Amino acid sequence: MLCNMCPRRCNVDRDETLGACGCGSEISVSRTVRHFWEEPCISGKNGSGAIFFSGCNLKCIYCQNYSISRGIVGKELSKSEFQSLLMNISESGAHNINLVTPTHFTMQIAEALSEIKSDLKIPIVWNTSGYETEESIEALKGLVDIFLCDVKYFSDEFAVEYSHAPNYFGYAKKAIEKMVSITGKPTYDDNGLMKSGVILRHLVLPGGRHDSESILTELAHISDSVVLSLMCQYTPTPSVESHKLLSRRVASLEYNHAVKCANKLGFNGYIQDKTSAKSEYTPDFEEKWDFVY
Ligand code: SF4
């Protein structure tokens, strides 16, 4: 089958060749780990059971997880191996199964989940860059409980230069509206852990304060249906050390402007404390599997 799973619409047969995401048709996983650095309603006390997929359909030039997003590290799993991994995490005491950068395996994951979803005891989190099609999100209806979705850029200039992703915001906005229509407003268990809903995560970028404002303004109509997670942990990587904007961290003025806009527009959720933005939030990707299949 030709792959048009994400807005890149490569129209390639991934059994024969690789698309822009750098992956063939088999699910490929870089790492599984108990992850404690997501938002508190996801990580809780016990952590989130994260599965990091290899490859990425966005490939930002400042990517913090370069080795996995370029598909450099990873193991291919058959459908039954992947299902065993999901069951293993479900029994592990983690609060949820956190599928990180899953977009380019949407159909494979949906097929695997559809056969065992009723046996899984914890919510499924779709942890995505937001570069999604509405059809792909629709295919996850009844299978995914929580969408943890980045919203990266409003301006096409940033989207094209930083991620080679024309019309990023146009796609992300439609995908996010579809996510909200699927999950409804957030719901929580008695311990404050999210059971269903949409978390919108926005990393404020250096030089991006007007972009952040535009993103928030354009999504203000769903501000009471989502949890906003505003982040300031951007860290320059060697790949952008000479870039005019991306070579520095976010200034307080820029981040505070985004915080002010979020408050004014009626968003609720998490605002990262600038002093808490640490490199530990980025797991290293030496081969290490906390959960096995
Ligand atoms: S999932 Fe990969 S191959 Fe398919 S359209 Fe997207 S980038 Fe191309």
Dihedrals phi, psi of 49, to nearest 5 degrees = -85, 95
- pLDDT for residue 18 is more than 80: yes
For the segment 253-264, the average pLDDT, to the nearest whole number, is 95
What is the residue-averaged pLDDT of the chain?
92
Atom of ligand 1 nearest to the CA of 8: 5
Every domain of the chain and the residues it spans: 33-208
Q: Is the CB of 12 under 6 A from ligand 1?
A: yes
Q: Is the CB of 13 under 6 A from ligand 1?
A: no
Q: Is the CB of 18 under 6 A from ligand 1?
A: no
Q: What confidence category does residue 217 fall into, taking pLDDT thresholds of 50, 70 and 90? A: very high
Rg, C-alpha atoms of the chain:
18
- pLDDT for residue 73 is more than 80: no
Higher pLDDT, 223 or 281: 223
Q: Is the CB of 57 under 6 A from ligand 1?
A: yes
Interatomic CA distance for residues 175 and 181, integer angstroms:
10
Query: Amino acid letter at 241?
Result: E
Interatomic CA distance for residues 133 and 5, integer angstroms:
7
Distance 135 CA to ligand 1 centre (A): 14
Q: Ligand 1 atom 3: the closest Cα is on which residue?
A: 19
Dihedrals phi, psi of 52, to nearest 5 degrees = -95, 120
Superfamily covering domain 33-208: Aldolase class I (3.20.20.70)
Q: What is the pLDDT of residues 220-253, one digit of tens each?
A: 999 999 999 999 999 999 999 999 999 999 999 9
- pLDDT for residue 292 is more than 90: no
Q: Which residue has the tokens 């599965």?
A: 51
Query: Amino acid letter at 280?
Result: E
Determine which of 138-152, 164-178, 230-244 has the lowest per-residue pLDDT on average.
Answer: 230-244
Q: In the prediction, which pLDDT does 64 show?
A: 77
Q: Ligand 1 atom 2: the closest Cα is on which residue?
A: 21
- pLDDT for residue 284 is more than 90: no
Q: In the prediction, which pLDDT does 276 show?
A: 59
pTM: 0.94
Q: Is the CB of 8 under 6 A from ligand 1?
A: yes
Distance 19 CA to ligand 1 centre (A): 5
Q: Is the CB of 202 under 6 A from ligand 1?
A: no
Query: Amino acid letter at 19?
Result: G
Give Cβ neighbours of residue 152 (< 8 Å, ≥ 6 apart): 60, 129, 130, 158, 159, 162, 163, 168, 172, 202, 203
- pLDDT for residue 285 is more than 50: no
Query: Amino acid letter at 14?
Result: R
Q: Is the CB of 240 under 6 A from ligand 1?
A: no
Q: Which residue has the tokens 């995401």?
A: 21
